A and B are shown apart, each in its own frame.
Chain A
Amino acid sequence: METQFTPLTSLVGGALIGFSAVILMISHGCIAGISGIISRILPPSIDRIELPQSLIFIIGLLLSAPLWFLIQGEIPVQVVSDNYILLGIAGLFVGFGSVLGNGCTSGHGVCGISRISGRSIVATGTFMTTAFVTVLVLRHVVGG
């Protein structure tokens, strides 16, 4: 199914993400890496010092869609697959991989590249490549 090409709203949305990363950096001196923010407060090693700030950031994320609805009067557009087994596997891979590789799209893809970190540039190139190949196989080999 096609989705509309939205260069302007995507650019502005991206700029907001970058702006949020700068806020976190200037106020707390830390990287806006979502997988890190989540995994730090999970067992077996819960970071009690970072726990309050991580939870508050996550609350901010969770309030975004309700706030969007209040201001825009409409629910954000979203088409989520109804293949629940696939989504369960996807979730396991995303969680496991982002913690093993120390970052996801935000930590490596946005913050790491902005810091010109070699590790993040390599990580971003790697996950982009495997993601492209996965969609290629999913849609054109298995589903084609």
Chain B
Amino acid sequence: MRILSTLIAGLIFGTGLILSGMVNPLKVQNFLDFFGSWDPSLAFVMGGAILVAMPGFWIVQKRKAPFFSDVFHLPTRTDFDFRLLAGAAIFGVGWGLGGFCPGPALTSLPLVAKGTLIFVPAMLIGMVAAKLTSLISH
């Protein structure tokens, strides 16, 4: 059940990304292109996700613990530090340049577009680099 729930969550997440159009970088970039070929669809993706997750989380967290763990593993930080802002800013530039964020990029791998096969390894390198810098700075 433990493994199955995670696998099903991954499948539903990926299917949601495909159905919503998030796996299409052109559609993502059109959402971000206010003054050009604007496609507001992605606002509906975020809206739909929050509409389900917000009440869902609220109900789930009335429980003492999740099914397969002793506690909820939730972020506890509330401060706005430089890393959060700089990281989000850099992420946004990359998202705008490629039209891909991590979930859709991985989901797109089996579609084997050349651009995806370049984007994903570069993304993994970027992630390792960020982990290295935080290791050095601590």
Contacts and interface: CB of A to CB of B under 8 A. Distances in A.
A11 B93 contact: no
A27 B131 contact: no
Interface size class of B (residues with CB under 8 A): 35 or more
Contact of B53 (A80, A93, A98, A114): A114
Contact of B6 (A24, A68, A76, A81): A24
Interface in B119-138: 119-135
Judged by DSSP, the binding face of A is helix
B57 to A, nearest CB: 5
Contacts of B85: 101, 122-123, 126
Interface of A: 1-7, 9-32, 34-35, 38-39, 42-45, 52-53, 56-68, 75-84, 86-106, 108-119, 122-124, 126-136, 138-140
Given A16-B13, A100-B134, 13 more contacts: A13-B22, A19-B52, A20-B12, A20-B13, A21-B57, A34-B103, A65-B23, A91-B123, A95-B130, A101-B89, A102-B83, A106-B102, A111-B57
